[in-house]
Structure 1
Amino acid sequence: MTDYSVLVPFLPRRPEQLLPYAALVNWTRAERLWQGQALLIEPHQGFAYAAGAGFRVPAGLGVTLMPFRHPYEAALQARSLAMATGHPAIAGFGPGARSLQQGILGAPYRSPLTAAREYLTAVRALLSGKVVRLDGEYFTVHAQLPPAAAPEVKLGLGVLRPGMAGVAGELADVAITWLTPAAYIRDTLLPAIRKSAVEAGRPAPTVTAIVPVALERPGTDPAEVALASNAAHLQGPHYLDMLRRAGVHVHGSSPQDAARALIKGGAFVSGDLDTVCAELDRYREAGVDEVVLNVTGVYKACGHQAAMDDLKQILAAVTR
């Protein structure tokens, strides 16, 4: 069975803007409220605010960026979030784009895979209460988190390509994908995850797919909604490489053509309610454990009420 969750479809400027989405998770059969990296209201703080306002819903961070936090701070914040909400949390991490690594760290990671491996190793050990003694290529940790009773924190890793999928299989509890067609998860990412998990002698992580989605509405071009949702991702070399591997022909395209390619290639799900539900079911068939509904494009192109309407209709249809 596949769970369905909700992504906050914008970057909040005030924490109370999160409350309608936390309430939606609280009052429906949605599994979890997710947020990606935000540079306005920081996600840990926003979720803690929602918990303090009475919406203590399960939270997922998908993904926060490693250059912004030392592993000790990452473990501390993740455990704090689980304690504030009273629910197991998913703390997803990713190295970010090379340009971001350069700007924050002074140089990009020579090997993002090694950096991710060190990071997850340190965070997991800290969350388990161990004394950590790590002298890595990228991270140094000689510390221990004070023991505390807290709900479980599951470690997630952002996965776009087979290399990082292998690291997820080796170390993560959850592999988190973004903008990845269902067939690409099935044929490329899941085999790499499972192979690595077998080699590491551990269970394979679950897979959470954050899927951009929009219901059709009169007077709205689906390609414009897809572009509103993913214009920044269509500029990222790592996203472009993933999409090309998935057979989504975005190379050399105009932004509008690239957006249409996302729809045609199954990276952006749109159509009437029956069509959307059928396309989302492909993720279940591909082996995905959790689908996160991402209506960012609807929010940007049509506003908050349209985004909320889409979420309510889709959730009612897929969780009945």
Structure 2
Amino acid sequence: MTDYSVLIPNVPRRLEQVLPFAGLVNWTPAVRLWQGQSMLLEPHQTFAGVAGAGFRVPVGFGVTLMPLRHPYEAATQARSVALATGHPVIAGFGPGGRAFQQYLRGAPYESPLKVAREYLQSVRTLLDGEVADCDGEFTFQAQLAPALAPRVDVGLGVLRPGMARLAGEVADVVITWLTPPGYLRDVIIPAVEEGMAKAGRTQRPRIVAMVPVGITREDTDPERLVLASNTAHLQAPHYQDMLRKAGVDTSGDLNAIARGVIDTGGFVTGDLDTVVKKLTEFSEAGVDEIVLNTVGVNKMFGPQEALNDLTAILRTAP
């Protein structure tokens, strides 16, 4: 059975903006609270603060960007959140776009796949209590101080087959964003299984899909919801490449691309029954956890409407 979770649909500036969404994990069938990379209230501090405010819930990072953080710091921060919340954590990582790598490092990664392999293996080794001995993008030898803590699963942000194969080799969790269900079924999951076979793994990494969603409202074109949620993604080269592979024509204007994302199921919208039915396509594709992303609803109509959509979906979904 597929789990449902909740993404914080804003970039919070104060903890109280997060608490209603954390409450959904307590009061509805949602199993986990997720946050993507934030350049305002830092995600690890957000979740530690939410736990201190009394909402000790399972959390996931989907994803934090590798150029911002040394692997040792990444492992320390993720385990700290597990200790603060008292629950297992999913710590997802991704290399970010080439421009972001350039800004932070002075040059993009020569091979994002190679760096991601090194990063995830180092973080996993550290979290397992072993000595990480790394000589590559990061050169260090270190071990975390011993501590009894809930497990931290290490995830990898995945858009395309190369990263999916790598995730099949080294990740505990595969984390996708804006990926249509057919593309997950036909491209991403088979690539993950190729990586598993190469590494001799028998247990598939958990597949987590961040799914942008919004219940339709009168006088609101669904394409507007898509653009409110994902305008930057629709213009990024690596997302456009993924969408083309998923059958979206990216040669038109943004409104046409948004329509293509809806038509392929990458953005789920409609009335409540339609939304729930379309979400089951992700379950049928092999997704283990659907993370409901109401960023577009929050931007257009505010946090209360985002909460309303999330509550309705979580109480109706199978």
Matches within 5 A, 1:117-196: 117-136=117-136, 138-196=137-195
Task: Give 1:152 deviation, angstroms.
Answer: 0.1
Match for residue 280 of structure 1? 279
Structure 1 gaps of 5+ residues are none
Alpha-carbon distance in structure 1 between the residues aligned to 2:192 and 2:83: 30
Q: Is the 8 A contact 1:4 1:290 kept in 2?
A: yes
One-letter code of the match for 2:153? Answer: K
Match for residue 55 of structure 1? 55
Match for residue 74 of structure 2? 74
One-letter code of the match for 1:100? Answer: F
What percentage of residue pairs aligned between the two structures are identical? 62
Instruction: Tell me, yes or no, if structure 1 residue 254 matches structure 2 residue 250.
Output: no
Match for residue 94 of structure 2? 94
Task: Give 1:130 deviation, angstroms.
Answer: 0.9
Match for residue 268 of structure 1? 267
Report Cα offsets for 1:17-65 as digits up to 9, x if no partner: 1100001111111010000000000011001111001000000000000
Task: Give 1:212 deviation, angstroms.
Answer: 0.3
Match for residue 291 of structure 1? 290
Task: Give 1:316 deviation, angstroms.
Answer: 0.4
Matches within 5 A, 1:205-220: 205-220=205-220
Match for residue 318 of structure 1? 317
Match for residue 200 of structure 2? 201
Task: Give 1:66 deviation, angstroms.
Answer: 0.2
Matches within 5 A, 1:98-113: 98-113=98-113
One-letter code of the match for 2:232? Answer: A
Is the partner of 1:12 in helix, strand or coil?
A: coil
Give the 4+ runs in structure 1 shifted more than 2 A.
none
Match for residue 232 of structure 1? 232
One-letter code of the match for 1:40? Answer: L
Alpha-carbon distance in structure 2 between the residues aligned to 1:98 and 1:177: 18
Alpha-carbon distance in structure 2 between the residues aligned to 1:276 and 1:141: 48
TM-score for the superposition, normalised by structure 1: 0.98
Match for residue 302 of structure 1? 301
Is the partner of 1:256 in helix, strand or coil?
A: helix
One-letter code of the match for 1:79? Answer: R
Question: What is the RMSD of the two structures over their aligned residues, measured on CA atoms?
Answer: 0.8
Is the partner of 1:81 in helix, strand or coil?
A: helix
Alpha-carbon distance in structure 2 between the residues aligned to 1:256 and 1:200: 42
Alpha-carbon distance in structure 2 between the residues aligned to 1:258 and 1:244: 10
Report Cα offsets for 1:254-295 as digits up to 9, x if no partner: 122221121112111000111111110000000000000000
Task: Give 1:70 deviation, angstroms.
Answer: 0.3
Is the partner of 2:122 in helix, strand or coil?
A: helix
Alpha-carbon distance in structure 2 between the residues aligned to 1:181 and 1:15: 32
One-letter code of the match for 2:214? Answer: A
Match for residue 41 of structure 1? 41
TM-score for the superposition, normalised by structure 2: 0.98
Alpha-carbon distance in structure 2 between the residues aligned to 1:29 and 1:267: 23
One-letter code of the match for 1:187? Answer: D
Task: Give 1:305 deviation, angstroms.
Answer: 1.3
Count of residues paired in the alignment: 317
Task: Give 1:141 deviation, angstroms.
Answer: 2.2
Alpha-carbon distance in structure 1 between the residues aligned to 2:315 and 2:296: 20
Alpha-carbon distance in structure 1 between the residues aligned to 2:193 and 2:282: 17
Is the partner of 2:18 in helix, strand or coil?
A: helix
One-letter code of the match for 1:309? Answer: N
Match for residue 245 of structure 1? 245
One-letter code of the match for 1:232? Answer: A
One-letter code of the match for 1:288? Answer: V
Task: Give 1:126 deviation, angstroms.
Answer: 0.6
Q: Is the 8 A contact 1:58 1:89 kept in 2?
A: yes
Q: Is the 8 A contact 1:175 1:208 kept in 2?
A: yes
Q: Is the 8 A contact 1:175 1:206 kept in 2?
A: yes
Task: Give 1:235 deviation, angstroms.
Answer: 1.6
Structure 2 gaps of 5+ residues are none
